[in-house]
Structure 1
Amino acid sequence: MQFLVLSRRRTNQFSDADFEQLVPSEGAQARHLYSIGFTRQIWHRGDMPGACQVVEAKDEGEVHETLATLPLARAGMLDFEIVPLKPYAGFSLP
């Protein structure tokens, strides 16, 4: 099952320097999650600091567990919104 994940950095609680310390390990873990097929696509958000990604997991619990492996998430520096996705019905045959 696929999910849309919007993450937002908690910039009101943490400084740029706090984030910069974890960015290298965050990138390494993000690459790992992509390499194992969890992350299908990922972008930086254009409206605020954070990311938007499409992920693949058996259920929302697995999404939460896997996102928790990100260093910024472990440090409590991110908020997540997780949206389950369904196939678009407009492409089905009549």
Structure 2
Amino acid sequence: MQFFFRGTPKQAVLSDPPPDMMEKAREDWAVARRYYRDGIFRSIWRMGNGVVAICEADSRDQLVSLLSELPMARAGLIDIDVQELSPYPGYAPELAN
């Protein structure tokens, strides 16, 4: 299954970043590279102050569990939003529900 993930810094983090913010960001980048290598992150971009990614997982719960392991998520620095993606019906409208 494919999912859209958006990770955004919590408002308090934007107004008063913790002293170890860059360390946590570097740790996140290492995990993101591993997730990309493992096929979980299919593509990832910066968007505003956060990131967005197209992800693959067996279920939404599995993906949320993996994203919760990101160092910035564990530290309570980011909010995680995950949306399940569905096939676009425009390519085969006769098959659309």
Task: Normalising by structure 2, report the TM-score.
Answer: 0.86
User: Partners in 2 of 1:18 and 1:10 — Cα distance?
Assistant: 15
**Residue matched to 1:39:** 41
Q: Residue 7 of structure 2 corresponds to which residue in structure 1?
A: 7
Residue 81 of structure 1, CA deviation: 1.3
Give the share of equivalent positions with the same residue, in percent: 30
Structure 2 partner of 1:17: 19
Partners of 1:81 and 1:23 in 2: CA distance? 18
User: Which residue in the other structure is 2:79 paired with?
Assistant: 79
Taking only aligned residues, the RMSD between alpha carbons, in angstroms, comes to: 1.6
Q: How many residues align?
A: 92
> TM-score scaled by structure 1?
0.88
Note the C-alpha offset of 1:21.
2.2
Deviation at 1:45, TM superposition (A): 0.7
Give the CA deviation at 1:25.
1.1
- Work out the CA distance in 2 between the residues paired with 1:50 and 1:93: 35
Residue 72 of structure 1 deviates from its aligned partner by 0.5
Distance 1:21 1:65 in 2: 22
Q: Which amino acid aligns with 1:60?
A: R
User: In the aligned structure 1, how far is the partner of 2:26 from the partner of 2:7?
Assistant: 17
**CA distance in structure 2 between the aligned counterparts of 1:62 and 1:87, rounded to whole angstroms:** 20
Equivalent residue for 1:69? Answer: 69
- Partner of 1:4, secondary structure, is strand
